[in-house]
Amino acid sequence: MTNVPLHPPAGWYPDPAGTVAERFWDGQAWSQSTRDKPTLAEPLFTDPPAYAPSAPGITGYGVPNYGYAQAQPVSGRRVGGFWWRLLGFVIDIFIVNLVSMVITQLTGVTAMTEAAMNRWVQELAFWSETAAGPVPMPDSSYWMGALWGTLIGFALYGAYRVVFLGTMGATVGQLAVGLRTVVIGAEPEAKLGWKPAVIRGLLGSFFWAASLGLINGIFAAFSAKKQTLSDMASGTEVLKVR
């Protein structure tokens, strides 16, 4: 007599491919249909599974646990709060400003800007005594120094964010306060990847250099997933991992 293995009933099961979604088992094979995983406060366990089908052509494809309740326990993912993110941002800006100050000093940008500022102050003092002619304005060297300072800050902050996000999934400030940046829906330990790191890193640097950092950050206080504009553009979110 031939023993025929019993197929599990059709239904939604945790995706054996390892994603955070559920995949539909039609009673014979895995389908291409997926859905977001339902959440329950408590998982319900019954008898262990009696059958382990595999999807054709996919090595190590998993088992529909029809002996377990289909809804799984809630994941331990926690979205990073606004104040933790603000603290991490302050730490990052302190680091970047310190390095930027050293670079502008070494390249002569600071000296050029300060000299132009001193000339302007002297011209204003003279004008205040005589009131002759229009109010003096800073000369072109002042604006050139300000432009170079902004460009250096943008490039430095952008490179800093991209490198740390791409390699570690977090900036130094985020690491210090227990935050990590991931693609939306990914687990905290998932690697971010270079494409979202570049988009998020450069956009965040642009908003900061253009003095729009406050507007960008406010979105993290009021959006559903605590996302900034740069998070929304790059498809990322920030999680609290400790």
Q: Give, for 14, the enclosing helix (H) or strand (E).
A: strand 11-14
Length of the chain: 242
* Percentage with pLDDT > 70 across the chain: 81
pTM: 0.62
Stronger pLDDT, 93 or 53, i.e. the higher one: 93
How far apart CA 42 and CA 192 sit, in angstroms, is 30
Stronger pLDDT, 200 or 70, i.e. the higher one: 200
| Least confident interval from 20-34, 126-140, 178-192, 197-211 | 20-34
What average pLDDT does the segment 6-28 reach?
A: 78
Stronger pLDDT, 103 or 20, i.e. the higher one: 103
How far apart CA 29 and CA 7 sit, in angstroms, is 9
Q: What is the pLDDT of residue 177?
A: 95
For the chain, give every domain's residue range: 1-74, 82-240
Query: How do strand 30-36 and strand 39-40 relate by DSSP bridges?
Result: unpaired
User: Dihedral through CA 126, CA 128, CA 134, CA 137, nearest 10?
Assistant: 70
What average pLDDT does the segment 4-27 reach?
A: 76
How far apart CA 172 and CA 154 sit, in angstroms, is 17
How far apart CA 86 and CA 71 sit, in angstroms, is 35
| pLDDT tens, residue by residue, 142-173 | 999 999 999 999 999 999 999 999 999 999 99
How far apart CA 125 and CA 130 sit, in angstroms, is 9
- Which tokens in the block code for residue 34? 């997926």
* pLDDT at 137 > cutoff 50: yes
How far apart CA 123 and CA 100 sit, in angstroms, is 29
Residue 37 dihedral angles phi and psi, to the nearest 5°: -75, 125
- Which tokens in the block code for residue 131? 């009131």
Task: List, in sequence order, every residue forming a beta bridge with 169; answer none if it has no partner.
Answer: none
Strands (E), the chain: 11-14, 21-25, 30-36, 39-40, 72-73, 179-183, 236-240
What is the rounded average pLDDT for all residues in the chain?
81
How far apart CA 181 and CA 189 sit, in angstroms, is 10
